[in-house]
Amino acid sequence: MCRSIKTLREPYTDDVTDEDVRAAALQYVRKISGFRAPSARNAEAFERAVDAVAAATAALLDDLQVRPARQGRPRP
């Protein structure tokens, strides 16, 4: 996996922006396609892929149910 993609879910971060989601999607598409910047004839497909991955990422983050952090065991 691309090491420059950071974890975007709680509790790792609590202030995820649209720019964070798009940057992660861009890195993913770059890794999968092997292109840092696509040629002119592939630019539209590349951008559609980034948009689709960003939308899927946002939906995933919205739907995840994360357990609250453990508070530890109460002491007797």
Which residue's entry shows tokens 């691309």?
A: 2
Q: How does pLDDT run across 31-43, given as a tens digit for each residue?
A: 999 999 999 999 9
pLDDT at 54 over 70: yes
The Cα–Cα gap between 52 and 70 comes to 35
What's residue 35's pLDDT? 93
Q: How does pLDDT run across 7-36, given as a tens digit for each residue?
A: 888 777 778 899 999 999 999 999 999 999
| Percent above pLDDT 90 for the chain | 58
Q: Are 28 and 51 in contact (CB under 8 A)?
A: no
